[in-house]
Amino acid sequence: MPRWFRKKTFGYGWTPCSWEGWLATLLFVSAVFGVADPELLPLDPVERGVCIVALVAVLFAVTLATSGRDSDV
């Protein structure tokens, strides 16, 4: 599987390293803004928080699945 994300040179975490990684990041940010807008999606605060946590978990899973090994950096 091609790498979408790579380990950051400094600090913790990963950064997009291909167009697929940037697209996944853009979709994540768009989805979070969509869930956070009360006029776009009428949810109570607890449901809104659960949705945002679920989106973060999905991005984390995609990042782990497409980041490769640490020695590949």
Q: Encode pLDDT of 11-70 as tens digits.
A: 888 999 999 999 999 999 999 999 998 888 888 999 999 999 999 999 999 999 998 765
- State the pLDDT at residue 69: 66
What pLDDT does 38 receive? 87
Q: What is the DSSP letter of 40?
A: T
**pTM metric for this prediction:** 0.82
Question: How does DSSP classify residue 14?
Answer: E
What region does 46 belong to: left with phi over 0, alpha with psi -120 to 50, or beta? alpha
Lookup: tokens for 54: 């679920």
- Burial classification of residue 65, based on how many CB atoms lie within 10 Å of its CB (0-12 exposed, 13-18 middle, 19 or more buried): exposed
Domain ranges of the chain: 5-68
